[in-house]
Chain A
Amino acid sequence: MEVLVFLVPLALALGLLGLAGFLWSLKSGQYDDLDGAAWRILTDDETR
């Protein structure tokens, strides 16, 4: 069971990574326009 000493912190670290990811996406405004984002995925990229 000593393996828990590594595994639990590892799980926590992965979780923190997820939290950091969420906070980043929040900060970069990805939740500002949920309706628009749902449609944008369907439109083709413009070739410029």
Chain B
Amino acid sequence: MSSCCAPAAGVVRPAAPDLSHFVRRLQSGVEHLDLAIDGMTCAACMSKIERGLSDIPAITRARVNLTNRRLAVEWKEGALDPAQVVERLRELGYRAYPFDAASLDSEDDRAARYVLRCLAVAAFAAMNIMLLSVSVWSGNVTDITPEQRDFMHWFSALIALPAVAYAGQPFFRSAVRAILTRNVNMDVPITVGVLLALGLSVFETLHHAEHAYFDAAVMLLAFLLAGRYLELNMRRRTRAVAANLAALKADTASKVFADGDIRDVPVAAVDPGDIVLVRPGERIAVDGIVIGGHSDIDQSLVTGETLPVTAGEGTAVYAGTLNLSGLLRVRVSAAETGTLLDDVARLLDNAVQSRSRYVRLADRAARLYAPVVHLTALLTCLGWVLIGASWHDAIVIAIAVLIITCPCALGLAIPAVQVVAAGALFRGGILLNSGDAIERLAAADTVVFDKTGTLTLPEPELANAAAIPADCLALAGRLALASRHPLAAALVRASGAREPVAGAIEEPGQGIGAEIDGVPVRLGRPSFCGAAREAAAAAEADPEASLIAFAWGDRRMVLAVRQRLRPDAAAVCNRLRQQGYALEILSGDHGAAVESAARMLGIAAWRAAMTPADKIARIEQLKREGRAVLMVGDGLNDAPALAAASVSLSPVTATQMTQAAADAVFLGERLAPVADALAISRKAFRLMKENLWLAVVYNIIAVPLAITGQVTPLIAAAAMSGSSVLVTGNALRAAPWRTRAAGEPPASMPAVSGPVDVARKRVAQEVG
């Protein structure tokens, strides 16, 4: 880089962070580190990274996972400082962020692997039994002897019984759990159907009968397991991207060790009670109490309030807020009583507890379906006995009814659509946190937005660039390079400045001064630049903007920096309104700021200066009016409201607690994913209902056959696979969903255009 002459003032090159927290020690004396890699796009990157790392002799293994864009590195214990790996990757042109080892082998991974094993067993068994069954079916119409048929049936039983005992466990467990809590879910009729089919088949085999249903029972399990695996896999893929994003965002903090040593450590290695230093211009990475220093703090990402607050000894500060002017010593705390954090945590708990449990469509269908089917089977049995059939025949026919109605199609109808829709959302830059979010999104009719960071971009921008002469803007930008103040960062971005002014000196809390060809230049507070009069005029014109003054000789001008709406916010709001959604803004910011945003977006319903409790109260009120509320918010103060709403979204720049409370997270600078999520979900919900009706129609055709005793195992198998294929095919109609260029595709690691990222880029620019 050409601008590698670092300005003297205000820039501290961060020491190599201490990564030992992330290193896992394996038994064999090998140390293991997992990294998320940013900037890896193709196969060439993969071999470049692996070869590049093999240059370091201590490394015994470096393996890239291209699917989830991660890298596993191993070396002999103590042979290498992990920071060297990150440094080497930086030389190769990639940024690497360590993972918390504990979060790696997640519950989802294990569950997906378990279901895949079950699927393998069930599919293997189904194939082999089908082979035997086809022989029996063709033999039955030709010349099979009863001995041979019994042999085939016994062999089928030998395969089917252990296979079902193993592969059926996910369904059996879930069914037992549901029954214990006096509920009915889809797994209950599945379990009943499978077990009865097996029991009947064994009984029939013992009595040398012609028909056995081993193939139907096992095939049913295989189909359902396939659906379940796809569902789990989709969730796992989403989680992997989310975990990478979390690693990318993970901050470091300057921890003050007991011996007075100050080192940058990952936030995960900071415990309550520790003391950290926060320099001006840094985003505070932890929650805590100020124990030394004075500063202004921009809390807009946390409370929505865009005006900075003053912090001194005893002030509570929150992760995600921005330290504007002075050096702070902060004692890290878990939620202390009486702070905003404590308030939010308490409200969040209440909201989560009182959240009315949404009943999934599948479970609602099961509640209707199970009694109807089981009653039909019972009536069939009694009916046959009444018209003079033997008890044995009547029971066999009744069980055939159960088998033919066994919810193969029903079990696939909803997961298949969910998988395809989640894939479409994923491509549109929306990551789902919870599986039933699609159904709840489809039901939403009211959209409530937070303002700061949700409707607006989290980073402030220069608003009046057009009014500033180009030479002044360029020089101001160069001066601003010497400061880490966030307003200065906005100025640097707007001017595209790359070359710092030599000899620029930052006066903390005031501004930057320098001398060019004997002419004094100043950038900073209006009072510092002697531009109070101009500033007062500018403040009148645009009361929400933060002002920076610039003085060059006797020229004075005022630069207004403010948060800007997301580029497509107005278009998205229009689109939503046309689709019949009611829109509303609930913001923690002051009235004037909210009003102007609401006016620009054409949203009539807005409320300002809302506390977290106010937001919940408003959402509860809307829900009482019978509305299904989608809440979109990013601040810590939005977290309880997100949990209280029927369904919620948050941008990826949101604080961690907020993201955890939201049902889905969207990426990128645009607001379009919100509208896309609603549109995709509505379509998916329609397909789900269509699929359920398809299953019903299939049953209307098949059940009379079963009741009249016409169903042979051949018909059962054909009907079962036929209906499953039909339902899956219908779900795939969702596939052509391509959301129009919704930001960067998450397939390549999405850039977090968050503040941390920008700060890092700037540091890189400054130190070269």
Contacts and interface: CB of A to CB of B under 8 A. Distances in A.
B527 interface: no
B67 A26 contact: no
A31 to B, nearest CB: 8
Interface in B116-158: 116-117, 120-121, 124, 127-128, 131-132, 145, 148, 151-152, 155
A8 B116 CA distance: 26
Interface residues of A, number: 25
28 contacts: A1-B145, A8-B132, A8-B151, A8-B152, A11-B128, A12-B155, A12-B159, A15-B124, A18-B124, A23-B117, A23-B120, A26-B113, A26-B116, A26-B120, A31-B116, A32-B65, A32-B67, A33-B66, A33-B67, A33-B68, A35-B67, A36-B43, A36-B46, A36-B64, A36-B67, A39-B43, A39-B66, A42-B43
A19 B124 contact: yes
Given A16-B124, A23-B117, A34-B67, 14 more contacts: A5-B151, A11-B128, A12-B155, A15-B124, A15-B128, A18-B124, A19-B124, A22-B120, A32-B67, A33-B66, A33-B67, A39-B43, A42-B43, A43-B43
> Which of A5, A18, A33, A46 has the most B CB atoms < 10 Å from its CB?
A33
Interface string A10-29: 01100110110011001000
B76 to A, nearest CB: 18
A48 to B, nearest CB: 8
Interface residues of B, number: 26
Contacts of A11: 128, 131
Interface of B: 43, 46-47, 51, 54, 64-68, 113, 116-117, 120-121, 124, 127-128, 131-132, 145, 148, 151-152, 155, 159
Contacts, number: 57
Contact of B127 (A15, A22, A46): A15
Interface of A: 1, 4-5, 8-9, 11-12, 15-16, 18-19, 22-23, 26, 31-36, 39-40, 42-43, 46
Given A12-B159, A23-B120, A1 B148 contact: yes
- Minimum-distance CB pairs A-B, first 9: A39-B43, A36-B66, A33-B65, A35-B66, A35-B67, A19-B124, A33-B67, A22-B120, A43-B47
B155 A26 contact: no
B155 A8 contact: yes
Contact of B121 (A1, A4, A19): A19
B211 to A, nearest CB: 20
Nearest to A39: B43
Contact of B51 (A9, A23, A46): A46
B761 to A, nearest CB: 28
> Which of A12, A42, A46 has the most B CB atoms < 10 Å from its CB?
A12
